[in-house]
Each structure stands twice: as C-alpha cells, then as structure tokens.
Amino acid sequence: MKTVNIGILGATGAVGQEMKKVLQEYDIPVGELRLLASARSAGEKVLFHDREVVIQEATDAAFEGLDYVLGAVENDMSKKFAPAIKASGAVYIDNSSAFRLDPEVPLVVPEINGADALQHNGVIANPNCCTIIALMAVAGINKLSPIKSINACTYQAASGAGQAGMKELQDQVAAIAAGEKPVVKAFATQLAMNVIPFIDAPYGNDYTKEEMKMQNEGRRILHNPALRVNCTCVRVPVIRSHSIALTLRTAEKVSIEDAKAAVAAFPGVKLIEDYEGRCYPTPLDTTDQDLVWVGRIRQDLIDDDGITLWCCGDQIRKGAAANAVQILKYLAERA
C-alpha cells in the first residue's frame, strides 16, 4: 500500500479519537494526518505514532491534498462538508447516517460486501453499529442459505451516545453509590440500574429510526431487498460494547453444526463455545478489539428453519471507527 494522506472530520469525539488509534494499530502508511474539529478545539496537540499533530478547524478548504477523509460527525455536519470533500478529490468514508440509504452511495462492511466500495462516487457510508455487529455474526450463515428474516433485540451500551453518554452513566453510578440523586441529561431517563427500551427518534410506524436501520441497511449490505427485520433496541447500563440477541430464518434449513462452522470460519468473527467455562461472550470480553464474538447458537423452538444466537461487539471499534478504517484499507490496497 502506498503512503496516503488522511483526514479525520470530528477528530475530538469518541469515534474520531478511536479512528486515530485504529490507524496507528493497523499501521496504515500515513503521510499526513489532518485532524479536523470545531474552532474551539483548533490548536490542541495530540500524538500520532511519535509525531505531534495540531488539530485544525474544519472548513471547506481544509480537505485539499487529502486522499481519504474519515467522518465522525453528526448528519448535518456530514452533509455540510461532503461536497467540499468530494471537490477536493478525497474519498469520504462517513460514519453518520446521512448517506446510508442513498442508492448512489455504497454502504459497506468490508468482510461482507467490500467490493461495493469500489463503486463509489466519492462517498462511502459506514453502517449503523448494531447493523455491522449483527450482520457480521450471521454473514457466514447467509452464505450457506440466504436469510429471509431476522428478529433482533439489541442491548446497547452507553458508548452509543458518545462520550457524553459514557460519562453520564459513570457519573450516575458514582452518585448512587454516594447516596445522591443521579443527573439525567444525555438520556431520556436514568440509565444506571435501569434499561431504556427506546433509542433514537420515532420512525413513524411505532418503531424507532434505530430499530429500522437493521432492516433498511441490512437489505443493501446483503444485497437482499426482501430481507425482513423486526428489531427492539434497548439502552443498557454498560459502558462500552453492544450485545444483540438474534433469531434468523433461512431460505433452506441450516443445521446447527453447519451454522457454527460457518460462523467460526467467517473473517472478523470469533465463535464462543467454551470461553472461561461459558458458551457466550459479554460486552467486557469484546471491548477495545475488532472481532464480533458469537455464542449460544441453537435451534429456534418456533420455526424449524430458525437459528438463534447471541453476539457482542465493540460499538466504537468494529461498529464505527475500525470498520471505516477497514474500508479505507480495502480501497488503498486496490488503488
């Protein structure tokens, strides 16, 4: 891979910081790393490998000379800067949901549909975190027989709400331990010692936007427009790493033995059958690494063609930053 110049838009947020970390870990040959953020962060200095990088203000002119830009900003900022990034000649790999359902923008999980990234027109979308984790867990089975439907329940960590969400959970736990009333700002209600079965805004059909993402995005990633997904998203008092319970139905029956073998063989996935005396992963097991761990693969008791499993993955890593860097690596290796 030749040396590439990379920008990170939203470099001071949780995902942006993780993108810088993953670039270092993956040993991407970076010529210039340009860290872009709001004006209030401009001038701050951070280390990348053994060199000091000064954070710059994100402006339309800030992308000139870059080969790739990794986006870690909200939808409105992503839409604002995308034209300037494209005009600069850089490829924009966006972690927001701004372009995920745009038919002109590839939506990519490299292990599943990496070749789609080659058809970009300057912008590539990173899928929703739970969509990535869930589809990584079942992609091996999908290769044996196409998945017709998925029933999912997500157990999403505070990390899904960024640094503010993680800090609020930690502060609430500390407040409860001190006998004080927890402060609620980042979430609709107290998260510590609680669960919140509603994430994101209403979609318009009694589901939330977060709950519809797995179906809408899954159809594009698996190239299966008929895929049906029923999803309930729950915020749980976990700092980092999402967990998902999945029941999938395939076009043809897949044995549990074959399903386990397919999951174990799929790149980026770790099958758990006996890990520290248990047959399942937990969020703590999967934090700060890029594998999706899958366990408790078993026969569905309702549908003979159904398979039920449990999976966990780091929302900030494979669910966001690492997947974006992997897309960059996939493109750069083929440039």
* Residues carrying an active site annotation: 129, 242
4 - beta bridge partners? 30
- For 201, the 3-state DSSP assignment is coil
Q: Is 322 helix (H, G, I), strand (E, B) or coil?
A: helix
Burial class (CB in 10 A: 0-12, 13-18, 19+), 42: middle
320 phi, psi to nearest 5 deg: -155, -85
Q: Hey, what amino acid is at 160?
A: G
Distance separating alpha carbons of residues 42 and 35, to the nearest angstrom: 9
Q: What SS3 class is residue 290?
A: coil
Contact 90, 64 (CB under 8 A): no
**CA dihedral angle for residue 36, residue 38, residue 44, residue 47, rounded to 10 degrees:** -30
- Cβ atoms 150, 248 nearer than 8 A: yes
**10 Å Cβ neighbour count for 229?**
22
Helices (H) and strands (E) in the chain, counts: 9, 14
Tokens of residue 61, six digits: 């002119």
What is the DSSP secondary-structure string of 29-87? -EEEEEEEE-GGGTT-EEEETTEEEE-EE--GGGGTT-SEEEE-S-HHHHHHHHHHHHH
Write phi, then psi, for 329 (nearest 5 degrees): -60, -40
Listed in sequence order, the residues at least 6 apart from 71 whose beta carbon sits closer than 8 Å to its beta carbon are: 9, 10, 78, 81, 92, 93, 94, 95, 96, 324
Distance between CA atoms of residues 102 and 84, nearest Å: 18
Whose tokens are 């590539």? That residue is 124
